[in-house]
Amino acid sequence: MNATRLGALQPARLYVSTTHTHDPRHDLDYIAIERAINGEPTPLTLREKLAAAQHLDARGYTPTAIAALIGSTHSSITQWKAQGWTTTAIRDEPAGTDSPDCGTPRGYAQHRRRREDACPRCKRANADRSARYKATGSTLPAAA
Ligand SMILES: [Zn+2]
């Protein structure tokens, strides 16, 4: 019988840096980026998303795969790449609001359908909805 090395069937983990946990300016959390690009849902700042996307693109990931991993959109990834991964490229993406329904349970569901991390406003809306349901048995807002 052949022994199987633990983790042998797993794809190799991707590392951003093996020596540092932040970039010199402390704008980027390498640990968060590393978690995200290895498929562990992790909230990233826009600058971190840009760095993560560039990292994954260099390893041959498609814009669709990158968008799913970092919680962004296909169009953002292709735009960032077209602009050479410069930080000016990220000014065009509104922070945390890529849907008019953001901040509502509907917006939260849309993030999930796009297989991306919900933005903070949608997470809060969904948490409020869950809390209301636990407290009242209904997801409808309490009558004012
Ligand atoms: Zn949202």
Residues flanking ion ligand 1, Cβ below 5 Å:
102, 107, 119, 122
What's the 95 CA to ligand 1 centre distance in angstroms? 10
Tell me the two tokens of residue 8: 């042998």
Q: How many CA atoms lie within 13 A of 117 on its CB side?
A: 19
pLDDT digits (tens, 9 = 90+) for 89-120: 665 444 444 567 788 888 888 888 888 888 88
The pair phi, psi for residue 115, each rounded to 5°, is 55, 40
What's the 99 CA to ligand 1 centre distance in angstroms? 6
What's the 23 CA to ligand 1 centre distance in angstroms? 28
Q: Looking at per-residue confidence, does 57 or 134 come out higher?
A: 57
What's the 79 CA to ligand 1 centre distance in angstroms? 20
Q: Name the pLDDT band for 52 (thresholds 50, 70, 90).
A: very high
Q: Give the predicted TM-score (pTM) of the model.
A: 0.55
CA of 23: how far to CAs of 17, 29, 58, 73, 84, in Å?
9, 7, 18, 25, 19
Q: Dihedral sign, CA of 78, 81, 85, 88?
A: negative
Q: Is 40 buried (19+), middle (13-18) or exposed (0-12) by CB count in 10 A?
A: exposed
Q: What percentage of the chain reaches a pLDDT higher than 70?
A: 81
